[in-house]
Structure 1
Amino acid sequence: MPVTRDHDSVADLRFRALSRWDNEGGAIATTPQVDVPLLTPAELVQMRIRVIAVENVLIAVLAEGSDRQRQVARDMATYIAPRPGASHHSLTIEAGKHITALVDRAVHFQSIDA
């Protein structure tokens, strides 16, 4: 577990870490971005399989986790929602809904497993 300074609250540390996500930790492009080739149908299928696997592992982990951990996941769903004054993007909105649905599935899985 990382050592924190006494004056840094966990909430402050989380906020600072999450705020860096918007710009990849403060990274700036120093060279022109290279065009990435489109994925092949086989690569897309493999990506979908991996996403399904990761989602199910996440559900299992959340089902075994604490109420606080599930609440942090729900808080993240709210955090990635469009901020006041920002334009709403359908993918961001759907991502937040998807996080909430994953937590709900974990709670359901937890009740079945109990």
Structure 2
Amino acid sequence: MKAAVRLLLVLTIVAVPAWLWAQSTPPPTPAPAPAPVATAAPPPPNDPMPMDLDGDGVVTAMEHAAGARSLFEHMDANHDERVTREEMLNFQREVLGVPIAPPSR
């Protein structure tokens, strides 16, 4: 009889707090999904807003930065992360047909 009482006492001391703790601990919340990267099909020719990658009618800072980076990479003909005067002039000839004249001082 003493053994049964001791067992019941031990179970009460150990099992009940563990059961209560398990009931009061909230389940872990899942981490939020990462923001989607702005990618889309190339804009149609003569699109007035080619940097509007998601087509919502506005250009976000992220879309503008992606467009500027893409333009820089296109100008950087030798991919050295630097655009020289010659690379800039070649790009202007390619896009506009003529280089842009520097501003007069």
Query: TM tier, shorter chain?
Result: under 0.3
Rg bigger for which structure?
2
Structure with the bigger percentage of helix: 1
Q: Which has the higher contact order (CA 8 A, sep 6+)?
A: 1
